[in-house]
Amino acid sequence: MDIATLMETGEQCLMRTNARLPLALCRGEGSWVWDTDGKRYLDFVTGLAVTSLGHAHPELVRVIREQAGLMLHSSNLYWNEPQVRLARALTEHSFAERAFFCNSGAEANEGAIKLARKHAKQHYGSHKTKIISLRGSFHGRTLAALTATGQEKYRRGFEPLPADFAYAERDDVAALEEILDENTAAFFLEPVLGEGGVFPLSKEFMLAARNICTKKGILLVFDEIQTGMGRSGYLFAHETYGVTPDVMTLAKALANGIPVGALLAGGSAAETFAPGDHASTFGGNLLAAAVANRVVEIMTEEGFLPAVRAKSAWFAAELGKLARAAGIDGEVRGLGFMLGLPVGERGARVTESCRRRGLLLNCIGGETLRFLPPLTVSETELAAALDILAQALAEA
């Protein structure tokens, strides 16, 4: 199907949930993707922080082929070895003691909300039901995750929403002391707000969140769906803060594009669910778990994460120089390879110009360019992206 026919047919038969660009991607290799007309692009979107090991990674292709020939899915009525191995790998590499697997970020957060409410009831009584999250946060589109999402534009029209959710201001420690009260079951945060504009939280706020939650018997939940799996230059972004949560959610890059989500918990939180409390048909199936295992192995190989830190530090510094040369006031924000550059109202024009020149970027709110390259990107590819961006900024 040519792109015009594809768009026309899609407009007729797909629900209008997304405003899509006039582009269909059909093939990828490493940091590069090709559209249906054969044009090649550098992929600095990575399916929104999903294909972090690049496209068609030979090791992942091998694991997918091998696992597909054995078994894709059994059921959580039974044990499956890839799932147990994945739970062991994630618990060995984090604070967590137990894992639950599902299929998406929203589903992982739904699980975390259920876990928090049940944990609070078990340990403190039925008054402790409130879920606090940050204004500007994004936690997913299912009803409870949507309610935790601190952006009204996503929630509008879907009322009535689940009860007992409220929002705190990012980096306001004094206000956090007030809002996290004795009725609060959990405090959810993204260490770097992603969809909200790439805003890393301050260390002071992260430490205060940990202290208040511990003092008041509140579960601290880190949504590392976007920041996790090496994106920050560490396996999990909270490692850069030296602050450990009670619960963490993962998805996106965990299986490099095969849908999977994870809910991880430590301490008493890990003991909350009993058989029958929670489940997911596809959750942790053999294919998703086998691929995720290989992703974790690759990302924790010696030298992988230090290389991400070195490449991303160089890229952020170069991006800053380029922005100053282009007369941009705003600073580069973010951690590792999760970077944002505020460019004002010309954001959409710059993104479009980059696309024409062969670089895919995402723009948040029409104003912040978001850079999410594969963690495996080469220095030559980073330099090529900077060249294209400089041309696009000059044009816009």
Ligand X SMILES: Cc1ncc(COP(=O)(O)O)c(C=O)c1O
Binding site for ligand X (CB under 6 A): 48, 104-106, 109, 138-140, 190, 194-195, 223, 225-226, 251
Distance CA 224, CA 231 (A): 10
> Cβ–Cβ contacts within 10 Å for residue 322, how many?
17
Distance CA 305, CA 299 (A): 7
Q: Of 105 and 373, which has the nearer Cβ to ligand X?
A: 105
Q: Minimum distance from CB of 374 to ligand X (Å)?
A: 17
Contacts of residue 73, Cβ cutoff 8 Å, sequence gap at least 6? 282, 285, 286, 287
- Which residue number, 115 or 389, has a Cβ lying nearer to ligand X? 115
Burial 7-32 (b: 16+ CB within 10 A, else e): beeeeeeeeeeeeeeebebeebebbb
Q: Nearer Cβ to ligand X, position 30 or 105?
A: 105
Least distance in Å: CB of 379 to ligand X?
27
Closest to ligand X by CB, 223 or 246: 223
Element (H, E) at 154: helix 152-155
Q: What is the largest CA-CA distance in the chain?
A: 61
Minimum separation from the CB atom of position 194 to ligand X (A): 4
Q: How far is the CB of 50 from ligand X (least distance, A)?
A: 9
Rounded to whole angstroms, the Cα distance separating 322 from 315 reads 10
Select 139 or 170, whichever has its Cβ closest to ligand X.
Answer: 139
Q: Which is nearer to ligand X, 151 or 184 (CB)?
A: 151
CA dist., res. 197 & res. 193, Å (int): 6
Q: Is the Cα dihedral 317, 322, 325, 329 positive or negative?
A: negative
- Side-chain-side CA neighbours of 22 within 13 Å: the count stands at 7
Shortest CB 324 distance to ligand X, Å: 29
Closest distance of CB 221 from ligand X, Å: 11
Instruction: Please report how close the Cβ of residue 48 comes to ligand X at its closest, in angstroms.
Output: 6
Give the CA-trace dihedral at 297, 299, 300, 303, to 10 degrees.
130
Q: Is the CB of 43 or the CB of 190 nearer to ligand X?
A: 190
Judged on CB neighbours under 10 Å (0-12, 13-18, 19+), 309 is middle
Nearest approach, Cβ of residue 340 and ligand X (Å): 13
Nearer to ligand X, 30 or 245 (CB): 245
Of 30 and 196, nearer to ligand X (C-beta) is: 196
Distance in Å, CB of 226 to ligand X, minimum: 4
CA dihedral 324, 327, 332, 337 (to 10 degrees): -80
The smaller minimum CB distance to ligand X, of residues 32 and 188, is found at: 188
Tokens of 316: 């952020």
The nearest distance, CB 190 to ligand X, in angstroms, is: 5
DSSP state of 238: G
Q: Which residue has its beta carbon closest to ligand X? A: 105
Q: Cα–Cα distances in Å, from 372 out to 153, 167, 227, 314, 366?
A: 24, 27, 11, 15, 16
3-state secondary structure 107-130: HHHHHHHHHHHHHHHHHHCCCCCE
